[in-house]
Structure 1
Amino acid sequence: MTGDERPYGYVSRKQVAQLIGDTLEQDLPVKHVVDELQRTYEPFFLIPDLARRRNCERDWRELLGDRVICMEDPTDTVEVAAGLVGLCEGVFSDLDALARHLKQQGVTRQRLGAVIRALTPFAATLGRDSVPRPSLEDDYLPTNDDNSGHRRIA
């Protein structure tokens, strides 16, 4: 292992045999399993609350990046998971559309805010966070060639 690699542990071949029924020749590194998983699926890791976030976010974020979703409360799991599917599949054009839908479904203002906060970082990676993209092509960019009007005092 080089100095910049982090040990994530291994998927036990014994547990794979017990739980799935497949036979592995050896334990598999978790990083390898996650890399293979991402070739076929769009995996997410939901952290159910802020206390657990402190304990595991860093390692999972190094494995899955912005696909780690940090919730404030586990009661938001259904709405967050449905929101992820809706954003990925294009059912919701952006977080504003998702928020309107959740409000129509009777989600309270407090829970609605928590769901949108949990999904905002990932939605930004899709360009669906309801924030307009900056346009710099037609904007005047100052060159700072003009006199500022300040005088240096010696």
Structure 2
Amino acid sequence: MQNTQSPTIRNLEAAFAGESMAHIKYLWFARQCRKAGDEATARVFEDTAAQEMLHAFGHAELLFADETMTPARCLQYAIEGETHEYTEMYPTFRHEAMIEGNSAVVADIDEQIAESKEHAERFKAVLDKAAKRFAALAKVEERHAKHYQAQKDAIAA
């Protein structure tokens, strides 16, 4: 990602977050409307949610340029985000909920902390496995390159 101090980048991040939140919120509203028996309103919320997701994708394309987003980089961003959630964001939220005496929110946040940690560990395991796989492939490719160079040298001699 670019300079996180840039007002433009901060604005794109806020827009991405807002559109992402609208997407999920509208899906939740659709669920509530459907529970109430209002199918037509539920569909309006779902259609709008799909548009909000496309808006978020547009912002994501600007924040995470295709040419920089390798699978390893995607995993690294995910690890950083999940780690932030379970080490900083949710513990702060948990503390504030405890001060307010909101035990339901504390319990929910405890689950989120555990799940965010699991997500970070899962992404890290995938990244580690990929690194080992690519290292092994590099060794095979190096052997092939040396073999081909030896063949080329023998022909040239």
TM-score, normalization by structure 1 = 0.28
Q: Higher relative CO (CA 8 A, sep ≥ 6), structure 1 or 2?
A: 2
| Structure with greater Cα Rg | 2
Higher strand share: 1
Higher helix share: 2
